């Protein structure tokens, strides 16, 4: 059920009516959990079951880390969780990409091949809930937050349907306290949520889908068009990507507000950024901050000198590109973004050493 579909509108209207009619907080939590499971199972029920099993495993491993005082045992439990979550992500999203890449490399070298693609159905939003599970497990390991003892609350954190499809990536320490907080039907907040939802719907249907009419034909058959059409398609695609992604995020934030939950802002007018570093602080903010906290800083961050900092930036952005899609074009996109960030960093440092006029 896409947010802009009639089936979702009916589903959410009914859920909202029942949700605020129930006076008990725990009953609302279980209603949201059931609705979230149904939302995901409407795509594929087996994939919904896989998510639930993965969530249960993370719940038990986090409790094990919480109760353990032995350092090596805590590391082992964290590694098991990371292996399970990243293993699911790699299998569903990247298995065929790696197999095809290896197959093409063998063909290019003249060697016989026997690799065949797997019949894998990609779970919706797997990149988002995998990163959410990882941030929870790492924060519990670092003792930045206690392990969640209520299984229903933890499953709602992972399965909460507004952020399941296209984000934003939710931090456990921000979302779990909201589940326990008493909620009351607030017309001001309902109105705010509806405004967010309608704004996102307008971005998606009135702008993104219209821009696709200009971009798609040119990208599908570029040799059939002249240079002016290619430029128009490029700018149309830039608008399409932004309005599509930010539109879905706005609809997610709006539906969450109407249910009494607050999700983080994910876009802050990124095309008005002054440089590439500021752009990534404004574009998909939840992903940029996640990569900073759970990849760039653990790699060493800005510690260890300029060369290591540039290396960490390049690794982080290359993996960011791969996160966006299982294709070498995405890997190249990420590497180019990393090189641009490195160039901007070096240029900024050089400018600071120059005399002011």
Active-site positions? 324
Compute the distance between CA of residue 334 and CA of residue 284 in angstroms, rounded to an integer.
14
Is 274 exposed, middle or buried, given 0-12, 13-18 or 19+ CB atoms closer than 10 A? exposed
Q: 348 vs 257, 296, 325, 334, 357, CA distance in Å?
A: 40, 20, 31, 21, 16
For residues 315, 317, 320, 324, the Cα torsion angle rounded to the nearest 10 degrees is: -130
Q: Nearest-CA neighbor of 133 among 92, 88, 94, 81?
A: 81
DSSP letters, 45-109, are HHHHHHHHHHHHHHHHHHHHHHH---HHHHHHHHHHHHHHHHHHHIIIIIHHHHHHHHHHHHHHT
Residue 162 carries which DSSP code?
G
DSSP letters, 312-347, are HHHHHHHHHHHHH-SSHHHHHHHHHHHHHHHHHHHH
Question: Residue length, the chain?
Answer: 357
Compute the distance between CA of residue 233 and CA of residue 334 in angstroms, rounded to an integer.
22
Long-range contacts, 20-25 (Cβ 8 Å, 24+): 20/185, 25/182, 25/183
């Amino acid at each position: 059920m896409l947010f802009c579909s009639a089936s979702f509108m009916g589903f959410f209207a009914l859920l909202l009516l029942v949700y605020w009619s129930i006076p008990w907080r725990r009953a609302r939590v279980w209603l949201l959990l059931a609705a979230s499971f149904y939302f995901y199972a409407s795509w594929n029920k087996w994939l919904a079951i896989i998510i639930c099993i993965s969530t249960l495993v993370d719940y038990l491993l986090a409790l094990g880390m919480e109760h353990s005082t032995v350092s090596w045992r805590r590391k082992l439990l964290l590694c098991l969780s990371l292996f399970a979550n990243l293993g699911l992500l790699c299998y569903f999203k990247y298995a065929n990409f790696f197999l095809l890449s290896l197959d093409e490399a063998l063909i290019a070298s003249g060697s016989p091949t026997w690799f065949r693609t797997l019949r894998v159905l990609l779970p919706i939003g797997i990149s988002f809930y995998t990163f959410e599970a990882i941030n929870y497990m790492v924060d519990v390991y670092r003792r930045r937050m206690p392990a969640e003892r209520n299984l229903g609350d933890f499953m709602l954190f992972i399965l909460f349907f507004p952020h399941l499809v296209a984000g934003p990536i939710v931090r456990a320490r921000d979302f779990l306290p909201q589940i326990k907080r008493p909620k009351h039907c607030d017309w001001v907040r309902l109105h705010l949520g509806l405004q967010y939802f309608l704004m996102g719907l307008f971005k998606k249907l009135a702008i993104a889908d219209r821009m696709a009419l200009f971009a798609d034909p040119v990208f599908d058959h570029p040799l059939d068009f002249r240079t002016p059409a290619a430029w128009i398609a490029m700018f149309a695609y830039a608008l399409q990507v932004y309005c599509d992604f930010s539109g879905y995020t706005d609809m997610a934030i709006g539906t969450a507000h109407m249910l009494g939950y607050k999700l983080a802002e994910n876009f802050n007018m990124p095309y008005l950024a002054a440089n590439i570093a500021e752009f990534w602080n404004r574009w998909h903010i939840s992903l940029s901050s996640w990569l900073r906290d759970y990849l760039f800083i653990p790699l060493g961050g800005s510690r260890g000198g300029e060369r290591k900092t540039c290396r960490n930036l390049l690794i982080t952005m290359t993996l960011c590109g791969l996160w966006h899609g299982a294709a070498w074009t995405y890997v190249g996109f990420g590497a180019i973004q990393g090189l641009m960030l490195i160039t901007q960093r070096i240029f900024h440092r050089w400018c600071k050493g120059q005399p002011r006029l």
